[in-house]
Amino acid sequence: MRRFAISIVCGTALAASSLGAVIAQPNITGTWTIQQSGLNGTSTSTITLTQPGNGIVGNNAANGNGFTGTFVNETQINGKWHGPTGAGWVTVYVSPNGHSFNGTWGYNGRPANGSFVGNKVLPPSPITAAGSWNVKGAGGPTAFVGTMRCTQSGEAVVCHVGTVIAINGRFRTKDKVRAKWTGPNGSGWFSFWFNDDNNSFNGVWGNGAETTPPVGRVVAQRSL
């Protein structure tokens, strides 16, 4: 049995006008990464989707496979696939925010042959320090462990850990903050840089002038 990659290609979706009122479904227009597993093995592919009304049209320029479908409720799509290796059915369940889906597919007149998951390719989030962060020690003293709350104005960043440690700094690059900290037991420097998800960062800190070596390391996850 030939491989069917849910790498979806061009087709014609049913017009929303033929369905009556448009269902309040999530918007899945965009580029998607699809991972498939099943009787034909595993594969990863990239597809593009467009969404006219309740209809869905899929496109994969790489292999010429295709898909058309229709939202039958707010999260479920019933559709058909077609391509050089055959044709069949597909059922897709979309997350409420439209950023992921999963489903099953099969050949016409046959039970499911495989399953798949899809994740929408989203633009990177703009990096901001503003918010609340759950900070954990990752080596050395743990002076910055706990909740760190930050505000940001332009490149300037002001943070507080608990009620005793104040951090004042600036973005030196688009993803790295260099700062000074002060507290009841001294003062020093603090440097932290954000990961691509903008929901976590790694940091190092030291006592005294910026030229002193680091004495502690932290990792943090956005909590608010």
Domain of residue 197, CATH code: 2.40.128.120
For residues 87 and 65, membership in a common domain is answered with: yes
For residues 56 and 95, membership in a common domain is answered with: yes
Closest CA to 105 of 119, 91, 94, 87: 91
Q: What tokens were used for 106?
A: 């099969």
Residue 111: predicted pLDDT: 94
Check residue 74 and give left, alpha or beta (phi > 0: left; psi -120 to 50: alpha).
Answer: alpha
Calculate the CA 83 to chain-centre distance: 30
Residue 144: predicted pLDDT: 82
Residue 224: predicted pLDDT: 61
For residues 24 and 112, membership in a common domain is answered with: yes
For residues 37 and 106, membership in a common domain is answered with: yes
For residues 108 and 135, membership in a common domain is answered with: no
Range of the domain at 107: 16-120
For residues 189 and 106, membership in a common domain is answered with: no
For residues 157 and 214, membership in a common domain is answered with: yes
Helices (H), 55-185: none
For residues 115 and 147, membership in a common domain is answered with: no
Per-residue pLDDT of the chain (224 residues; tens, 9 = 90+): 344 334 433 332 333 333 344 567 899 999 999 998 888 889 899 999 999 889 999 988 787 888 999 999 999 999 999 988 889 999 999 998 888 999 999 999 999 999 999 999 988 778 999 999 999 988 888 888 899 999 999 999 999 998 778 999 999 999 999 999 999 889 999 999 998 778 899 999 999 998 999 999 999 999 86
- Asked if 150 and 166 count as a contact pair (C-beta separation under 8 A), the reply is no
Report the number of distinct structural domains present in the chain. 2
Residue 160 domain flag: yes
For residues 111 and 162, membership in a common domain is answered with: no
Residue 8: predicted pLDDT: 36
Residue 5 domain flag: no
For residues 116 and 206, membership in a common domain is answered with: no
E strands, 10-85, in order: 30-38, 41-50, 55-59, 66-71, 76-83
Residue 6 domain flag: no
Q: What are phi and psi of 104, to 5 degrees?
A: -135, 160
* pTM of the predicted protein model: 0.54
